[in-house]
Amino acid sequence: MRKPFTHHDFLGLSLGSIPSLIFAPVLIHRAGARMMTLLGEGLVLLGVLLAALPLALPMPLPGGVVAAIGLGLVGFGFVFLDIAMNVAAGVIEARRGKPVLTTLHACFSLGEAVGSFFGFGCVYLAVSPMTHFLIAIGLMALLFLLSATRLSEVEALVRASGEKKTKKDDALRPKLRLNGGLIAAVIVVFVVALCEGTANDWLPILLRESMNASTSFAALAFAVFASGLAAVRFSGTFWLTRFGRRRVLMGSAILALIGLLIIIFFKAPLFVMLGVVFWAAGAALGFPVALSAGAAMGEGDPAARMSLLSSAGYGAFLAGPPTLGFIGEEMGLAASFGLVALLMLLPVVLAKRMTAAQGEVAQKVLERK
């Protein structure tokens, strides 16, 4: 047996995500969102189990290697799973004409919060790590099975959204036509994903190392952030209906900017927690709304656009943490947070370009009719 995971083991999670980011759009287009969702689910379950085995059983390979391989499978499968779900949700949203992605991402945040409290409970009750993992795997498998019963209906909608292929080569890749609005959407998705991912990876560390906060306060701050994400995302339909995508994108970026600046410049616990609340409120809707806006613009296959945008977002989750860590080693984590705050000006500037491009596409569709 070995001790719980070290930060070196988690390199497997990042490395496993790289191939799926590259191949996910083409494979989802060829095999379908349903097949890639099921494949992603299976890989995640297998990866979690493999990562947990060295905690309880002797392994023929070093425990760290086995854990890294398992976490690599988790990263590989999770990106397939996540991008396929975003593609399907984007198509459903386009069909219904109502926000769907905000609720989908709210469920992700809720699961993150529940998983955190579940892990805390297992530690508090002195549950063995292997038992903890087995319970988690069983719960995930149950949820996967329940969701799989409706995937065929979702797959039919995704297939119907694509253009008919007239050339043999078209069957090998999704139809994707770039324009200025879609490029702006890719940039915005990358930035808002980086904003959210920064909190997931570095917020507790910043509070512990740079502000000398207690472990309990750092854990509470992250719990507040995760809960804030879920709460705002579940109310996303209200905000989008009332203010529209452009104002929501701009307002979200400004709130996140304010939250980051409060955390950087004010060290008192009350101000730090206030900054976390602003940051969560700003980060909550940026990613799903940017995905939704980008998927609705441009011509060609909407599933292909969603694949591109999702890849950009998860590329930010993958590349952002090590880049910010390098900057933090050289200049301090506060400087890394300052860079993220500066980047939050991009959604404010580009939101108008994205929604303007959406209007141009809608006008073209009306003219064809």
Token pair, residue 174, equals 């999704």
How do residues 52-92 score in pLDDT, each as one tens digit?
887 767 767 676 778 778 888 888 888 788 777 877 777 77
- CA–CA gap between residue 70 and residue 157 (Å, rounded): 33
Residue 79 CA to residue 58 CA, distance in Å, equals 30
- What is the DSSP secondary structure assignment for residue 12, as one 8-state letter? H
Cβ-contact 225, 201 below 8 angstroms: no
Distance from C-alpha of 70 to C-alpha of 66, rounded to nearest angstrom? 6
Which residue shows structure tokens 């939050």?
344
pLDDT of residue 115: 81
Question: Each residue of 74-98: b (16+ CB within 10 Å) or e?
Answer: bbbbbbbbbbbbbbbbbbbbbeeee
Distance CA 291, CA 213 (A): 35
176: left (phi over 0), alpha (psi -120 to 50) or beta: beta
Q: What are phi and psi of 300, to 5 degrees?
A: 100, -160
d(CA 236, CA 248): 9
Residue whose structure tokens are 């400087």:
335
Phi, psi of 3 (to 5 degrees): -75, 165
pLDDT score of 2: 46
Cβ contacts of residue 27 below 8 Å, gap of 6+? Answer: 36, 80
Predicted model pTM:
0.72
Contact 16, 74 (CB under 8 A): yes
List the pLDDT tens digit at each of the 369 positions of the chain. 444 444 444 555 666 666 766 777 677 777 777 788 888 888 889 988 888 887 767 767 676 778 778 888 888 888 788 777 877 777 777 777 777 788 888 888 888 778 877 877 887 788 887 888 888 889 888 988 887 777 766 666 666 655 443 344 444 445 566 677 788 888 998 999 899 888 877 888 788 777 777 777 887 888 888 888 888 999 988 888 898 888 999 999 999 999 999 998 887 888 989 999 999 999 999 888 888 777 776 555 666 677 778 778 877 877 777 777 778 777 877 888 899 999 999 999 998 877 654 444 443 433 443
Q: Which two tokens stand for residue 124?
A: 């508090």
Count of other CB atoms within 10 angstroms of residue 255: 22
